[in-house]
Amino acid sequence: MSTTNNMKKIFLKLSLIALILAPTKIVLADDGETIKIQQHQNKVKFVVVQKGKTFYELSKETGISMSLLRKYNEFHPKKDILEQGEILFIEPKKNKSKSNKQHIVNQHTTLREIAQKEAIKLAALLRLNPNYSPDEELSKGVKIFLQ
């Protein structure tokens, strides 16, 4: 795996720290495990993927269909494997940020990753930033509009 990909994963995991995790709900899953439902600062509920969890298992545990989980999270179409520490939204993301006007890229990332980090729909982010494509690697210092 490339250094850039490793850095992206570390960045996404560390960005969990920046989230406001205040409203939290613990739900008992069918298999007896608990799921911690949290709320992003952009007012969208999510869970943090635990080691070894699949779309199917999380679908069963949350009661949300796999197709809706994929739709809410707008992962790359070829993404099949969830990674420990990833954010998985369990309701639709917003059309804009409630608190941040822009995001300054501080390391290589994509609009798809920023949309996930900021809980904003990818289509809305693309409308706000028409010069970029979803999976284009953005350079350090690029301003991405969130509102």
**Average pLDDT, integer, range 18-29:** 48
Do 118 and 58 have their domain in common? no
In a domain, 108, yes or no: yes
Q: In the predicted model, is pLDDT for residue 16 greater than 50?
A: no
In a domain, 96, yes or no: no
Do 85 and 106 have their domain in common? no
Q: What percent of the chain has pLDDT over 70?
A: 78
In a domain, 135, yes or no: yes
Contact assessment for residue 89 and residue 96, using Cβ atoms and an 8 Å cutoff: no
Which of 54, 25, 39, 48 shows the shortest CA–CA distance to 91? 39
Q: What is the pLDDT of residue 12?
A: 45
Amino acid (one-letter) located at 121: K
Strand partners, 47: 88
Do 75 and 110 have their domain in common? no
Domain span at 136: 102-145
Contact assessment for residue 74 and residue 116, using Cβ atoms and an 8 Å cutoff: yes
**Average pLDDT, integer, range 84-99:** 94
Q: What is the pLDDT of residue 21?
A: 41
Could you tell me whether strands 87-89 and 34-39 are parallel, antiparallel, or unpaired per DSSP bridges? unpaired
d(CA 35, CA 67): 20
Which of 25, 34, 8 shows the shortest CA–CA distance to 116? 8
Q: Which residue has the higher pLDDT, 130 or 32?
A: 130
- SS3 state of residue 2: coil
Do 9 and 80 have their domain in common? yes
Do 33 and 77 have their domain in common? yes
Of 24-33, 40-49, 129-138, least confident by mean pLDDT is: 24-33
d(CA 115, CA 44): 12
Mean pLDDT of the chain: 83
Do 15 and 70 have their domain in common? yes
**Average pLDDT, integer, range 75-84:** 83
Q: Which residue has the higher pLDDT, 27 or 79?
A: 79
Could you tell me whether strands 87-89 and 102-104 are parallel, antiparallel, or unpaired per DSSP bridges? unpaired
Number of domains into which the chain is organized: 2
